[in-house]
Structure formats: structure tokens, C-alpha cells
Amino acid sequence: MNEHEIPPPDGRPVDVYLDLLRVRMPNDDYQLLLSVVEPVLQAIDEQQMPTIDFSLDGDNAEALPQEIRDEAALVIATAVTGRLDNEVVEIDTDETGPVRVVTDAVTASDPERLGEIADYLRERHQQNEELRGIAEASGLPSDF
């Protein structure tokens, strides 16, 4: 078992991470972060993730500073993975522009693996564009 996989003695990794953020962040920012992540954490605890609609990139996300969005993504990743070594990396592709991705520290420091993720993002974007074209040609909504 790696060091980052050992459960903390006083609770879940996400609770430890939130405690660290509470100390590190200004109170207003921390409260804003909690307003974003609490519904998601509750859904995870209740194992209702398929029914929750959550995005850090939607219309409402524009009001959130990038730092809060990044921390929210890291809090959620910690809750899902139980790992404290998650990082946000920005991968730039010509098709999509910069995309922020949460991954573990080993992957974040591996240029080859990041290249594979960029390839996947390009392929996914191409598939979405094809589906969007099919939807538009069929008279179906294409705003997915």
C-alpha cells in the first residue's frame, strides 16, 4: 500500500482534505467551495451519483473563480478515489483548447500518459462533433 493510500487516522481522506482547505483558504472562499461540493459529497455518500447533474464547466461555473473550481474537482476526486495525491493538470489540444483534468500525481508527471489522455480527448471531441452533426441533420437537439 502506498503512503497516499493509507487511510488517515481521524476520518475519510476527503474530510482531512477539507480540513486542510479550511485552514488554507479565506473563509469566504471556503464557504463558496462547500456550497459547490456538499451536494456532490452527499450524493456520493448516498451512492446516488448517476442521478446528480454536476459540472464545473457549465453556465453557473462562470461565477466561480478557477481556483475554487479546481479545489472542488480535487475534493470530489478525493471523495471518489480516497487518494490525497490528486492534481489538476491542463491539457491543450487543438480541437478543444485547454481542458482541465484531475488525475493522480504519477500520471500528472508522466508526459507519455498525458499524451494518451490528450489523444483520448481529441477522439472524444471528434465523436461528439459527429454525433452533433447527426443530431442536427435529424432535427434532434444537439446541445450535449
93 CB burial (10 A radius; 0-12, 13-18, 19+): middle
Mean pLDDT of the chain: 86
Average pLDDT over residues 75-90: 94
* Section 83-95 average pLDDT: 92
Read off the pLDDT band of 54 (50, 70, 90).
low
In the predicted model, is pLDDT for residue 51 greater than 50?
Answer: no
pLDDT top residue among 70 and 49: 70
All three cell numbers of 69:
473550481
Q: Which residues is 86 bridged to in the sheet?
A: 104
User: Does 60 score more than 60 pLDDT?
Assistant: no
- The residue whose grid cell reads 475554487 is 68
Asked whether the predicted pLDDT for residue 56 surpasses 90, the reply is no
Does residue 85 register a pLDDT over 60?
yes
Q: Hey, how many other C-beta atoms are within 10 angstroms of the C-beta on 76?
A: 20
**Residue 5 in contact with residue 81, Cβ under 8 Å?**
no
